[in-house]
């Protein structure tokens, strides 16, 4: 998925069923800049957050919603 904020930035999503994880990684050209490893069971909540964020603009000063994936 190509980003629209910075040239060369992409979001890669890869499934790892053997470990029950889905990995979101942010790339700048050929360099991985960040990753988040989600449990497969957390994916529906992330999809719901994305859908809500696209449909409902955040109120001024409202904190971004977070899914605690530590652990």
Q: Which pLDDT belongs to residue 66?
A: 61
What pLDDT does 70 receive? 57
Dump pLDDT digits (tens) for 32-66.
999 999 999 999 999 999 898 888 776 554 555 56
- This prediction has a pTM of 0.71
Cβ pair 67, 45 in contact under 8 A: yes
Residue range 14-34, pLDDT digits in tens = 999 999 999 999 999 999 999
Strand order in the sheet with 21-28: 9-16, 21-28, 31-39
């Amino acid at each position: 998925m190509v980003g629209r904020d910075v040239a060369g930035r992409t979001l890669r999503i890869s499934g790892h069923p053997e470990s029950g994880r889905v990995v979101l990684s942010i790339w700048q050209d050929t360099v991985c800049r960040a990753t988040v490893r989600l449990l497969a069971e957390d994916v529906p909540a992330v999809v719901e957050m994305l859908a809500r964020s696209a449909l409902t603009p955040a109120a001024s000063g409202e904190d971004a919603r977070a899914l605690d994936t530590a652990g």
